[in-house]
Amino acid sequence: MLGNQYFIARRYADALNELEKAVQKNPSLKSARKKLIICYLQTSQLNNAVNEFYKLVDEDVELILNTDPIRDDCPCPDIIHKMDQEITGYHNDDEIIKLGILWLYCEIEKSLKYFEKVSPQSEYYNLVDRIIIKLQQALKTLN
């Protein structure tokens, strides 16, 4: 799939277009949806990322939890590292949510810690609250 090639090349805007087409044709393509979330984040489409992330967590949280950064060529560790260098303090709910999403591809506990920092004033608070519940349930089954 062309979307995968663009994703591997870190051409997120191009990958986004192709992955959206693929998912539109077949919404059950969970691996494409998983990549689509990252593309949304990298193209500053947080609303789309949060909504798709919630749907995927609700349907199959293990798909994200079982991400292998090397085998799956997941850019999340690199994106997180870059964000850590660029941002001195995470006081913006959008940045905190973005990190919560990205960390779930790497480590559920850190993901939860970020989501738990989201302010009740955030426009995404209700959705984040539901994500936290799903992640806490997943964590219980993992332990």
Measured CA to CA, the distance from residue 49 to residue 38 in angstroms comes to 7
Q: SS3 sequence, 75-99? A: CHHHHHHHHHHHCCCCCCHHHHHHH
pLDDT in tens, 98-142: 999 999 999 999 999 999 999 999 999 999 999 999 999 999 998
Helix (H) or strand (E) holding 24: helix 12-25
* Parent domain of 80: 2-142
**What one-letter code names the amino acid at 107?**
E
The pLDDT value recorded for residue 85 is 78
The pLDDT value recorded for residue 1 is 81
Sign of the torsion formed by the C-alpha atoms of 75, 81, 84 and 87: negative
* CATH number of the domain residue 82 falls in: 1.25.40
Whether pTM exceeds 0.85: yes
Domain count, the chain: 1
Measured CA to CA, the distance from residue 65 to residue 12 in angstroms comes to 22
